[in-house]
Amino acid sequence: MTDMRGDRYGSDFPARKIHKIPSATLSKRSIGGALKTGSQLARGIGRAYKLISEIKPRAIIGFGGYPSFPPLLAAKFYGVPSVVHEQNAVMGRANRMLAKYMDAVATSFEMTKGLEGKALRKARLVGNPVRSQVLKRSEQPYLPHVSGGVFTLVVFGGSQGARFFSDLLPEALALLDEKTRANLRVIQQCREEDLARTNAAYELAGIHAQTASFFSDLPEFMAESHLIIARAGASTVAELGVLGRPAILVPLPHALDNDQLYNATCLAESGGGWCIEQKDLSPEVLADRIRIFYGDPGLLKTAADQAKSMGVPEAVTLLADLVEEMAQTA
């Protein structure tokens, strides 16, 4: 069950059937807007309740966001065991409201901000499921670069890349000495409109760079990397842990719940990487970090080991076990 945005998945989503349930985002708006939102949610709950009464599921699991809101509340009213999964290190607004009514709260981090009271007692750490490509690479050990040898740097920022990285990386890496630049191997995801200027900047600096708007084999590149620079989405942090790769994480600024900042902070506090907020990351700051890492392979190896220690490669199994456990109580 999803809201009308489920159309974006088309026929690719692996479900026998997709049911579209009305939903809406709660926000501080006008009285008229609040009434419209309430009406939309009420319709969604009614539709979900009717659907549940027809399908008679053994259990229901929601993965956060307001599309989960009507089905999970309807499940509660109908008496179906229900679970909400929180992928971030901070509870999203919809999940915070739902958690206390759920039979279990599946978490991805040992500490989840906003999870407290009755809901905290129902928490189960299962991790965040990762792609099969990542799992296939999870046994590949981290191999530190040889001092003075090739240094592979992988850069990405969400599904479409990050313009900030396209602006920052070429300028920062150009500040390195000529010998270091010659030994860099940069693999960077860029927005389509940024590819030409990013490539030109790397060529001018004498840096070997491979850029694209999409890498189908990104997990392979991540596994081969010596250092990753990325945003701090929940999936990225989970994949870094499963692979055991060190990273500089630059949280997306101005996010509503600061979820990426909390995700990055968790990784940094574990010793598995470094969190640098975008406002604090200049070309000079990044160039200094790269110099340190390039000259000290052991520093990155230690971070890789720490990142690996917080990974949960069995997240899919743990989550499935929890749902089956809930279904047995029906």
pLDDT digits (tens, 9 = 90+) for 108-155: 999 999 999 999 999 999 999 999 999 999 999 999 999 889 999 999
- Please indicate, yes or no, whether residues 299 and 238 belong to a single structural domain of this protein: yes
Q: Residue 97 CB: number of other CB atoms within 10 A? A: 16
Percentage of the chain modeled with pLDDT above 90: 81
Whether residue 169 sits in one domain with residue 149: yes
Query: At residue 28, does pLDDT exceed 70?
Result: no
CB within 8 Å of 109: residues ≥ 6 apart: 88, 89, 125, 263, 266
Same domain, 184 and 290: yes
Q: Are 225 and 319 in the same domain?
A: no
Please tell me whether residues 241 and 143 are part of one structural domain: yes
For 124, the domain range is 4-128+313-327
pLDDT tens-digit series, residues 225-249? 999 999 999 999 999 999 999 999 9
pLDDT-based confidence at residue 24 (cuts at 50, 70, 90): confident
Confirm if 65 and 1 have CB atoms less than 8 A apart: no
Q: Residue 330's pLDDT band (boundaries 50, 70, 90)?
A: confident
The average confidence (pLDDT) of the chain is 92
Compute the Cα dihedral for 61, 67, 71, 72 and give only its sign: positive
Does residue 168 sit in the same domain as residue 301? yes
User: What pLDDT, on the 0 to 100 scale, is given for residue 7?
Assistant: 60
pTM of the model: 0.92
Residues 170-219 pLDDT 10s? 999 999 999 999 999 999 999 999 999 999 999 999 999 999 999 999 99
Same domain, 10 and 31: yes
Whether residue 89 sits in one domain with residue 118: yes
158 and 305 assigned to the same domain: yes
Query: What confidence category does residue 10 fall into, taking pLDDT thresholds of 50, 70 and 90?
Result: low
Answer for the pair 102, 72: CB distance below 8 angstroms, yes or no: yes
121 and 218 belong to one structural domain: no
CATH number of 188's domain: 3.40.50.2000
Model confidence band, residue 162 (pLDDT cutoffs 50, 70, 90): confident
Give the number of domains in the chain.
2
91, 158: one domain? no
Q: What is the pLDDT of residue 204?
A: 97
142 and 289 belong to one structural domain: yes
